[in-house]
Each structure stands twice: as C-alpha cells, then as structure tokens.
Structure 1
C-alpha cells in the first residue's frame, strides 16, 4: 500500500483476485472482454473508475459515460473495464491501490502490456488513477480524469486545503505519462483554482491537456448540472464536445506505439 501523499449496459461481470494490497478487483466489461480478443498485446484496455463502492450512488449509476461509449463504438481494438471500488471506506491516498490491482491482473493474467492501458477516472476514481500512474505505473498508455478529487465537499478545512494543494503539486511533479484533466467551475468538491500552475509543475507529462470549464460552458454541455458541475462528463453533449479532440487522439497514439512495437519485434 502506498505511503500517504506528502510523500450502455455493462456486460460480462468479472471478479478477480488482485495482487495489490489484497484488494479484489471487481467490476464489469462493457461489451467484449480482453479474453475475447485474439491478441492481448494489440488490445487497448480502458480501466474506468468512478470511485463508487456500489453500482449506484445517489442519482449516479456505474454506467459507461457517453464519451467512453464513443471509444468502444469507434475503435474495434478497445475494451473497457468499469471497476467498482470494493470497500466503502478508503483514504484519499489509497484509491490508487485498488486500481493498481486491476492493472496487474490485466498484465499478468491476460498479457496486456502496460503501455496498452489507459486509466480513466471520475471524482475519487480520477484521483486514484492519478495516484496509480504517478507513483507506480508511469509507463501507462495514458490517464484521463474528470473532476479528480477525494477530499470531501467544500468548504475544506485549512488542513485539508493545504494537503490537497501539496498533493496536486506532487502529482504534477511525478507525471511522466500522457495526461488529460477536466475540471469545472462550480464543482462542489474543489475550487477550479486548485489546478492553477499544474502545467508549469508537470514539464515531463507528454501531451498534457487541462480543460478548465467555466460555469457557462458546463451548463451548455450538461443538463443535470444546474446545481453542481461535478457530473458534467455524464452528458452526451460533453462527449460530443471533447471526444474527437481529446480521447481519440490519445487512443491513436497508443495504437501507433503498439504497431511500432510489433514492427520492431519482427
């Protein structure tokens, strides 16, 4: 286990035994699984984490967001595993551990190269995806996070706010992987300003993109965000706005590296 920082319908349910901190890997594939593919070394795996400890939390369900559904529809070599957090209580520095368990399972059991794996996360799932890549797997194919946070709702105490600032700075300094971050104005869990200066602190993160959406832009893209911007990525309009410019180019770069690797091994 890591030391604290400061330092459409889902199918094919699976339950795997993880190697990281004894967290079992639980969740479902959306459509086909890695096992359905003839060559795992040519398969791109999206591991999606929503941070829920159950299939439903409040008004949100652990379904495939539209922006990720587009990835499945447009790329025949992509599979998506939607991971469910298997314990109701995890500290903010532990969310990366259960994600690391899934990475190891796909690598060791299925033979998927680390460079073929893209971590995708929302909220605590996004925070954990950043942790897993920054501290353990900097060679992943990429990380895409939406509203990454795991520090509770605003207002934060001075102690939590200071810790969060330090943790974001540390994640930036450790980033060595392609990274896309979406953050929103009027999110009830963080301030947009928390991410100020991230680019300057992350000079070694290739293809870094940070989308800071204003409140007006969020309302254009999300019908359910009248009170809170946190769930903006669940709207189909969000996917239409950002898939082609952000997620598809990342997938294309991973695929290009797979082809280069295959050609060099001949």
Structure 2
C-alpha cells in the first residue's frame, strides 16, 4: 500500500478544493425541496462548479475499471439507495431522504463531501437515521490523530451505529484523496481498534459511513452504478475529507453552510 503524505502546500490546495465542494452543497440546499428533480440539482451543481468556481466535477465521465463512464456531475441517492445514484427526471417528494455527493477538482486537487437532506416533512425514523449517521461519521473523525490506527475509526463508527440498532454497509469505504479521486488507504467503517495502518501527519482521506436502518446487505440496481439495500430499508451517508495534523485532525470540507458540529465533538475539544 502506498499512502501519499501531503506537504503544507498540498494541504492548502486541498483546503481550497474541499471548501469548494462543501460550498456546492450550500448552494444546493435551498433547492432541495418537493418537486425538484435530481437532474435539476445536477445541472445547478454542474453550472456552479464550472462557471462560478472554475473547477471540474470529478464524477462526470469517471470510469474506474469495470464501470461504464458515470454520466452526471453529482451523485444523488434517494431513500433505499445507498450510494452512486444517478440523477434523473424523477421529482423529489415530501418525506424522501437524499444524499448528494459532490467531488470537485480544483487545480488538480480533489475535494469530496456529501450531506443528507430530508425533503419536506420526513418521518421520525428517517430523521433519526440521518442524524445518527451524521453522529457516527463524527465519532470516526474524532479518532483521527497521529499514532492512531485506521481500525480505531471503523470501530468507533461501527459500535456507535450498531448500538443504535443500525447496520454498516461494508462493501464501500472511505479513501485517500488528493491528486487522484481515490488513493490509499481504504478507510473501513467497521473493524477492530489497534488494527490496520497507523495515521501520520499529512495523510488526507475521507470518512463516509453508509448506514442502513435495516440489514446491511446491498445489491446493484441494474444501471451499473446505483447501489441499494437488499431489504429496501432506508440508507443514509455523510462524508467529510480530513487531514491528520500534528496534534489531531482538521476537517477540510467545511463551509459557511455546513451543518453544526455535534455537541459531543465540541465538548471534547
């Protein structure tokens, strides 16, 4: 495994790309309402990234080995869709939950983040899933510091989620990121503390747990990209990009409109 360690100028470039990615979500937030289509959200995001930010939407035509090129500029995963949902002409309706996943390339560097949105009036169960998944991501982020292990992050996320009666998707994980969309290491959202790679200052990776209200099993929907829960239970995901600092961590994908950090994070800071 070859993990790239970023220097100060690399990290500054990543701060810019990651902030821009988060600002796309800020821009989209007022548009996520009943009646809007995910195609319209994709168009708004694409135009903002290209015309306002002078950046590139990384998902557009992205084609890892074995995949057809991804046809849109963002991923929109609704309700029981776990990840990689392709925007289309279906209108969102009140009660839907949707993950919008944004990756921008600015000056060669990738910024990657996603948020959950509850459309209109969501059920208590849907809001609970979205909220607890957000907390689970932060439980993982809080484990990031030099000398910690990747397994510490996964263990924190898994134990928190499973104690809430939720399940962790295991087939997809966080990843290193920088000049490439996906780099080493893989960041599992489950595992045992004290295992896997040791964290070092300058490592940059995403933490992006996918958490299901029902069972953890998933399947491909048939379009070559969209992943859904086998039991059609709701799935939620949040994603931040973080850098390991000399003393802990810095979340790079924050912007003016980012959701508030959970109280348990600020209490420990």
TM-score by length of 1: 0.28
* Bigger proportion of residues as helix: 1
More strand by share: 2
TM-score by length of 2: 0.28
Q: Which has the higher contact order (CA 8 A, sep 6+)?
A: 2
